[in-house]
Amino acid sequence: MLKKIGVYSVIGVAILLIGVFSLRQEKRVDFSTEVKPILNKHCISCHGGVKKNGGFSLLFEEEAFAATESGEPAIRKGDAAHSSFIQRLTEDDPELRMPYNAAPLSDDEIDVLRRWVDEGAEWGSHWAYALPESVPVPKPRFSLGALFGGGGSQFPSNIDYFIKERHGDVGMGFSPEAEKETLLRRLHLDIVGLPPTPDQVGAFLNDTRKDAYEIRVDSLLASPHFGERWASWWLDLARYADSKGYERDGIREIWSYRDWVIKAFNANMPFDQFTIEQLAGDLLPEPTKDQLIATAFHRNTMNNDEGGTDNEEFRVAAVMDRLNTTYQVWLSTTFECVQCHSHTYDPFKFEEYYKSYAFFNNTRDEDTYGEHPKLRLYGAAEQQQIDSIKTWLSQYATSDQLASVSLFLTTLEPKYHAHYCDSLENGALADTKWLAMRNGGTARMKAITLDGKDAFYLNYFGAAPGGRMEIRAGSPTGRMLADFAIPTTQASQVISVPMERLSGVHDLYLTFRNPSISPAQAVAMVEWMAFQPRLAGAEDPQYEEKMADFVELLNHQPPSVPIMVENPPDMARTTHVFERGNWLVHGEAVEPAVPEVLNDFPEGAPVNRLGFAQWIVSKDNPLTARTVVNRLWAQLYGRGLVEPLGDMGTQSTPPIHRELLDWLALEFMHGMDWRVKDLLKEMVMARTYRQSSTIDDRAIEKDPANEYFARGPRFRLGAEQIRDQSLAVSGLLSEKMYGPSVMPHQPEGVWMTVYSGAEWRKSEGEDQYRRGIYTFMKRTSPYPSFVTFDASSREVCVVDRIRTNTPLQALTTLNDPVYLEAAYHLGKRMAQRGKREIDAGITHGYQVAMQRSLAAEKKEALRKLYDEAYAYYSANADALEQFNSEFRTTEPGDASIAAFSVVANALINLDEFLTKS
Amino acid sequence: MDIDKLAKEAQQYQLQSVTRRHFLRECVAGIGGIALGSMLGGLGGCSSSTGRPLDAGIASGSLNPMAPRAPHFAAKAKRVIYLHMAGAPSQLELFDYKPELHKLHNKPCPESILAGKKFAFIRGVPKMLGPQAQFKQHGQSGAWVSDYLPHFSKVVDEVSFLKAMHTEQFNHGPAQLFMHTGHARLGRPSMGSWVTYGLGTENSNLPGFVVLTSGGKTPDAGKSVWGSGFLPSVYQGVQCRSKGDPVLYISDPEGMGRDLKKQTIDAINAVNQEEYNSYGDPETLARIAQYEMAFNMQVAVPEVMDIDSEPEYIHELYGTEPGKESFANNCLLARKLVEQGVRFVQLFDWGWDSHGTSAREAIDVGFRDKCKEIDRPMTALLMDLKQRGLLDETLVVWGGEFGRTPMQENRDDKDMPFLGRDHHTDAYTVWLAGGGIKPGVSYGETDDIGFSGIGGRTSVNDLHATMLHLLGFDHERLIYEFQGRPFRLTDVGGELISAIV
């Protein structure tokens, strides 16, 4: 008997082996989907970018097949039996068996690796680093809509065919379409971030046209509120804030950038242009004001004003942040991992970090207190004055000269900051910010290129009478280039001084004198200096007058916005590798270049930030369009087609919807010419989007996280949306757009930061009720109710807000005066139905808030609350009086108003109110 | 005032009252626990919809992300009180006694010490500054403590010192971030967030991670030092304030009593239950639970934050004055909070940046006053925890974000009006007590002038690794997957300081 079993087993195994063998012949092992995940899971933490134990690394092809410390390569192509890479997986000796000190690989995993080696160990790139040329839509061959049970019609979007195909993998199908009211609310919240009004709901319900839904989609996409809603998303990526961050966290004037983003979304600016203008608008030919403002994207980096900080350290930190943010925002790549060593998992090399860094390392900003360079946003009268100077100047100046005068007027660049000075004798850099030299003190400015620059500009403050300054070349006693009085001033001012002409590169020595002040006092506090050619046209009788106008303009303080300005060649920095990521330890010098694994640098593109931006939005870039598509999808559906949103590479989850992602990415670039509105329209028109979000037991069991999109999205609204929606349904919302950020109600004592005199001053009038995107954003102390609802503090780029569900959120919408006031105004709307019409009032309030009809059981619970509250306020005059003050009523409310307000308070705390479904 | 006598009396009182209170608390927690448990029964997954799975060693599976969880191995400490002196106190006037530095007082600093070093404000060649306090050895352990801390010197046998701590950052903001998040740049979770992420909390009616500030300012690095970074925001520290609502929006609006609030929440939850019945979204059930917790928290938080009801001798012990914002009040609050099951209590006291630019910033004036302010309450805290039997399981940590230089500051290369010391990364002192710390140890040694550690050097990562170890975690395994890579509090460093555990 036993023998028999043995025989059968042998036969069984043989049959099995044949079966497996024949299967194998059909399909070779795929490196990217089968081998790489095993390597990443078990091998790469010791044989990767950081550790290369035994001299063996599996991160890059050339390393994987190179000789290891043993002198032999670990992998012999086509010969698993003699590859130590395979042998070591099954050793008995725990000292030898890999993975070392960890559980052995499963038999299946070993089999995959063995077959891969035997088949020739063909290396492949990860799917994320190659975009297919086209993706066929999986439409059934002999179509007929009847197959889909949709009443014979085809799907409204190709998206649906892809989703439908994946449904098949798990035996699921589309959920029924959501109720019309629910769908309209979903659409409004997604496209403009605000709920529909009761009138809009009524009109939609009664609209019997076939394309009634599409008409709504188009009109919402055309609404100015579209830009506000989608800018909210982008500003998290841009880490936009109204303060500088770090210790002092002073106020930063950069709201023009926020307005630029809103306008760009509203104008449906193609995403490639949107990208290029933000990354390199300043390098475009004759950039417009808007193109310069766009570059504030990368001036949202933090600025450290703390006393005793090294500006270079925080300039480097800002440049690294720009680089990391760029890779994160456009390429879903965790490039910061490569700062200290080659990437642990993804095919990026250590040096490649610094080659990319070199593209960003040549801007004029240097972490200075003044946040230069800033674009000066002159008013109309000032602009007229500028135009008149330029017109006059154009008679004498070359176009290059004109351009440099124009740059100086609009940005005060290029200039040298006080911290450029070294070898200070009898003086210091006050608060590590301003050059404060005492009587007789000297400072050096190293290697200044003077060719043709015979005018010196000095920006300073705090100068007592009698101050003078000398500029000498070569040494403190060298050739005198200028010797001039420093006019007395307390406030900051710019003066222009002629300098003797000298060509070439020189060390300049600045000597400050004022014998009338005390020895400890500084002659002046210098913020910056600039060397420029004198204005042309000295022969013109109007010259002095024009020159005075010019200097006067420099002394204006118009509103401004920090922007990017590239270093002129004589101020260019060389980029070095930082050994182990330490900015103080310079390794070899590198030239700008993009990582090898990605698309080639576009032919003919300039090798600077502009070229880099063009590389990012090249249609050959495998990551940019996929990244945008994935993140827009996540905004609508609560999760991306590939997760996590911050990492499209070897560490992403196996992509269920890769074909759809690729198809959408190709469509977005080629079919839609990068237009975001067109892409969003495609997404919201889809049958997939319009599904009901009801979750039944089957769905919970088969797909709890909705990875297959067999139901509609249902998730909590974002921080700004919760505020906006409450203001909207209470009728308080202001539709005012743009301008400086506002300060709605915030409890006393929330801002307590060190050294900064900044204060939260509640805005007046309608500014209290603006959309959340206009709320003042201070990094070290963000608006409390936003943070509670998971908004970012905008210190670093955030691609994916985590959604939490906490008691502090409940306390906010229950008790924050902003929400109490909204409750009162909604309550008042409910009361307008009449004193005796309690049920009608409640129903009305519910409809205004939820845009759907009120179920009987819910009505009962809300009516009970009304009655309880009414009884309470009727019996309690003191409480009613307190209600009037706490809910900030505009006129004294009676018990009925108070009771309706309590019900309204409940309404804006309902799960269905806080949730998009 | 005799602090020892007071402490004895306190102990008497404690023994009389502990049984009754303990019983009551356990009962309440028990009932609440049952109700919550049944409500959440049968649901799986984490409440955060995009949060990544916890480390395999930590059980998840509850819808409440703050539910208590077991660590990797048996813990010695169950909770932490961290006392941070923001601005960085001088170790040379408190614990690191350097008689040699006396001899060098007012002499120019040798060039060899300055070579290759960077300082925040010192320029050129500064003068050495001898210790400004008188030192003595105290207790059985013979720990050196100066006369700036007369009370504390009596409890040194409870404490272990790390004398050769060092850091990488010499500006306050980055150094505080490094101290609290293990990283000098923004975006990482603070240690309190890591600990509550790992352990949850034992009292769902109070935040699991509470922050108290004194000294009139929040720390230089802002709220990020108690932020949750990439962890779900439920793990961020909740700042409890001395003025206004202790927690923002915790109070009901006036004119809306507790009963009406209860009725409101009942109505909200009744409607939410209906919504759940028709949509079936587990998040709706979680929200119902959060509203119940919020209601309970509204009672529990003001209660625990109210120190008025503490007996007189306790106020004397700590030196507390109800209604004021003070370090003393915060020490007493810290004790109350851990007693109630709060997992991590973080105190920040601002005003320790003794550069010598003014009397307030002088080593021998303002700094000494600050020492007076903390001496008695922090001593009282240790004694009070001990007499209540809480010290064994409560880890108390004291320190700044870096140390101070043995040189006198000469900002802008000129003499300062007062005696001050500049920021210093190479050597500073941190002390720890309770929660499994071996008492009476002094670990690490600095050179003759207290400039650099010459033995037993410990880093910020080492401190974190040790704290996590006492809480039952292998610091290399308490991880969170973010953007495709595992992160941990100790980043890529950290070694257990076994000499003190």
How do residues A845-893 score in pLDDT, each as one tens digit?
999 999 999 999 999 999 999 999 999 999 999 999 999 988 888 888 8
Q: Which residue has the tokens 């799960």?
A: A911
Residue-level pLDDT at A705? 86
B291 to A807: CB separation less than 8 angstroms, yes or no: yes
A879 to B241: CB separation less than 8 angstroms, yes or no: no
User: Distance between CA atoms of B407 and B411, rounded to whole angstroms?
Assistant: 12
> Range with the lowest mean pLDDT among A26-40, A492-506, A760-774?
A26-40
A704 to B45: CB separation less than 8 angstroms, yes or no: yes
> Range with the lowest mean pLDDT among A49-63, A600-614, B6-20, B40-54?
B40-54
Q: Which residues in chain A have Cβ-Cβ distances shorter than 8 Å to B219? A: 754
Q: Smallest CA–CA separation between B448 and chain A, in Å?
A: 27
Q: Which residue has the tokens 């919970």?
A: A700
Residue-level pLDDT at A809? 94
Structurally, at CATH architecture level, domain A413-542 sits in Sandwich (2.60)
Measuring CA to CA, how many Å separate A340 from each of A51, A61, A565, B349, B459? 12, 21, 28, 35, 20
User: Distance between CA atoms of B195 and A896, rounded to whole angstroms?
Assistant: 48
Q: Mean pLDDT over residues B92-117, rounded?
A: 93
B233 to A806: CB separation less than 8 angstroms, yes or no: yes
Q: Which residues in chain A have Cβ-Cβ distances shorter than 8 Å to B121? A: 307-308, 432
Nearest by CB to residue A807, choosing from B221, B274, B293, is B293
A908 to chain B: closest CA residue: B268
Percent of chain A with pLDDT over 70: 95
**Which of B454, B371, B407, B358 is closest to B131 using CA atoms?**
B407
Q: Mean pLDDT over residues A370-388, rounded?
A: 96
Mean of the per-residue pLDDT values for chain B? 86
User: Which residue in B210, B245, B268 has the most chain A C-beta atoms within 10 A of its own C-beta, making it the best mutation to test that interface?
Assistant: B268
Structure tokens at A261: 């983003």
A639 to B216: CB separation less than 8 angstroms, yes or no: no
User: Distance between CA atoms of A848 and A827, rounded to whole angstroms?
Assistant: 11
Measuring CA to CA, how many Å separate A312 from each of A57, A298, A440, A570, B458? 35, 17, 28, 18, 28
How do residues B348-374 score in pLDDT, each as one tens digit?
999 999 999 888 899 999 999 999 999
A883 to chain B: closest CA residue: B255
B483 to A334: CB separation less than 8 angstroms, yes or no: yes
Strands (E) located in A548-667: 560-562, 575-578, 586-590
**Which of A682, A656, A659, A665 is closest to A627 using CA atoms?**
A665
Judged by DSSP in three states, B257 sits in: coil
Q: Which residues in chain B have Cβ-Cβ distances shorter than 8 Å to A886? A: 253-256
- Asked whether residue B402 is domain-assigned, the answer is yes
Per-residue DSSP letters for B118-152? --SS--S-PBB----S-EEEETTTTEEEETT-TTG
Q: Which residues in chain B have Cβ-Cβ distances shorter than 8 Å to A892? A: none
Measuring CA to CA, how many Å separate B401 from each of A319, A814, B394? 26, 38, 22
Structural domain count of chain B = 1
Q: Which residue has the tokens 């230069």?
A: A372
CB pairs under 8 A between A and B: 297
Q: Which residues contact A617 (CB under 8 A, 6 or more apart)?
A: A271, A272, A275, A276, A624, A674
Q: Which residues in chain A have Cβ-Cβ distances shorter than 8 Å to B263? A: 864-865, 868-869
Structure confidence at residue A22 as a pLDDT band (50, 70, 90): very low
B223 to A715: CB separation less than 8 angstroms, yes or no: no
Q: Where are the domains of chain A?
A: 27-124, 270-373+571-616, 413-542, 815-916
Per-residue DSSP letters for B174-207? HHHHHHHHSSSSTTSPPHHHHHHHHH--S-TTS-
User: Which residue in A126, A645, A723, A754 has the most chain B C-beta atoms within 10 A of its own C-beta, making it the best mutation to test that interface?
Assistant: A754
Is the pLDDT reported for residue A653 higher than 90?
no
Residue-level pLDDT at B10? 55
Residue A477 zone, left/alpha/beta (φ > 0; ψ -120 to 50; rest): alpha
Judged by DSSP in three states, A887 sits in: coil
Structure tokens at B416: 């300062």
Measuring CA to CA, how many Å separate B227 from each of A190, A244, A530, B179, B188? 29, 18, 42, 13, 8
Q: Which residue has the tokens 């012990």?
A: B317
Residue-level pLDDT at B35? 28
Q: pTM, whole model, 2 decimals?
A: 0.84
- Asked whether residue B121 is domain-assigned, the answer is no
**Which of A637, A635, A632, A633 is closest to A693 using CA atoms?**
A637
Measuring CA to CA, how many Å separate A338 from each of A347, A576, A771, B230? 10, 14, 39, 19
More confident residue, B41 or A466: A466
Structure tokens at A559: 């509103």
Residue-level pLDDT at A804? 81
Q: Which residues in chain B have Cβ-Cβ distances shorter than 8 Å to A344? A: 485
Structure tokens at B63: 């819808």
A428 to B234: CB separation less than 8 angstroms, yes or no: no
User: Which residue in B205, B271, B414, B421 has the most chain A C-beta atoms within 10 A of its own C-beta, making it the best mutation to test that interface?
Assistant: B271
Q: Mean pLDDT over residues A439-466, rounded?
A: 96
CB B130 within 8 A of CB B92: no
Q: Smallest CA–CA separation between B499 and chain A, in Å?
A: 27
Q: Which residues in chain A have Cβ-Cβ distances shorter than 8 Å to B283? A: 714-716, 805, 911, 915
Judged by DSSP in three states, B345 sits in: strand
Structure tokens at A698: 């089957």
Structure tokens at A94: 């725990």
Q: Which residues in chain B have Cβ-Cβ distances shorter than 8 Å to A812? A: 248-249
B255 to A861: CB separation less than 8 angstroms, yes or no: no
B173 to A855: CB separation less than 8 angstroms, yes or no: no
Q: Are strands A505-513 and A560-562 parallel, antiparallel or unpaired?
A: unpaired
How do residues A310-367 score in pLDDT, each as one tens digit?
899 999 999 999 999 999 999 999 888 888 877 777 888 899 999 999 999 999 999 9
Q: Which residues in chain A have Cβ-Cβ distances shorter than 8 Å to B49? A: 638-639, 705, 715, 802-803
Which CATH number covers residue B169? 3.40.720.10
> Range with the lowest mean pLDDT among A72-76, A688-692, B180-184, B281-285?
B281-285
Q: Is the dihedral of CA A529, A301, B122, A448 positive or negative?
A: negative
Range A483-487, long-range pairs (CB < 8 A, 24+ positions): A486/A458, A486/A460, A486/A512, A486/A514, A486/A523, A486/A524, A487/A463
**Bond before B108 cis per omega within 30 degrees:** no
Structure confidence at residue B157 as a pLDDT band (50, 70, 90): very high
Residue-level pLDDT at B62? 44
Residue-level pLDDT at B57? 30
Is the pLDDT reported for residue A23 higher than 80?
no
ipTM (interface predicted TM):
0.88
User: Distance between CA atoms of B380 and A280, rounded to whole angstroms?
Assistant: 60
Measuring CA to CA, how many Å separate A205 from each of A10, A155, A180, A211, A847? 70, 22, 7, 13, 14
Structure tokens at B51: 């949060």
Percent helix, strand, coil in chain B (nearest 5)? 40, 15, 45
> Range with the lowest mean pLDDT among A472-486, A492-506, B104-118?
B104-118
Judged by DSSP in three states, A47 sits in: strand
DSSP A687: T
Q: What is the 3-state secondary structure (H, E, C) of A552-582?
A: HHHCCCCCEEECCCECCHHHCCCEEEEHHHC
**Amino acid making up residue A634:** A
Q: Mean pLDDT over residues A178-203, rounded?
A: 97
B275 to chain A: closest CA residue: A912
Measuring CA to CA, how many Å separate A504 from each of A448, A473, A475? 8, 11, 15
**Amino acid making up residue B42:** G
Q: Which residue has the tokens 């880093």?
A: B459
Measuring CA to CA, how many Å separate A729 from each of A18, A811, A828, A905? 69, 20, 11, 12
User: Which residue in A346, A811, A900 has the most chain B C-beta atoms within 10 A of its own C-beta, making it the best mutation to test that interface?
Assistant: A811
Per-residue DSSP letters for B445-465? EE-TTSSSEEES-EEHHHHHH
B485 to A747: CB separation less than 8 angstroms, yes or no: no
Q: Which residues in chain B have Cβ-Cβ distances shorter than 8 Å to A748? A: 243-244
User: Distance between CA atoms of B285 and B283, rounded to whole angstroms?
Assistant: 5
Structure tokens at B401: 């974000």
Nearest by CB to residue A790, choosing from B221, B233, B270, is B233
Q: In this structure, what are the phi and psi dihedrals at residue A601, rounded to the nearest 5 degrees?
A: -65, 135
Containing structural domain, residue B72: 3-113+126-500
- Asked whether residue B457 is domain-assigned, the answer is yes
Q: What is the 3-state secondary structure (H, E, C) of A417-444?
A: EHHHCEEEEEEEEECCCEEEEEEEEEEE
B291 to A820: CB separation less than 8 angstroms, yes or no: no
CB A373 within 8 A of CB A413: yes
B188 to chain A: closest CA residue: A796
Q: Are strands A422-430 and A586-590 parallel, antiparallel or unpaired?
A: unpaired
Nearest by CB to residue A781, choosing from B222, B243, B250, is B222
- Asked whether residue B442 is domain-assigned, the answer is yes
Nearest by CB to residue A308, choosing from B121, B286, B485, is B121
User: Distance between CA atoms of A302 and B224, rounded to whole angstroms?
Assistant: 14
Residue-level pLDDT at A862? 98
Angle between helices A399-411 and A380-393 (to 10 degrees): 160
Residue B456 zone, left/alpha/beta (φ > 0; ψ -120 to 50; rest): left
How do residues B330-353 score in pLDDT, each as one tens digit?
999 999 999 999 999 999 999 999
DSSP B500: G
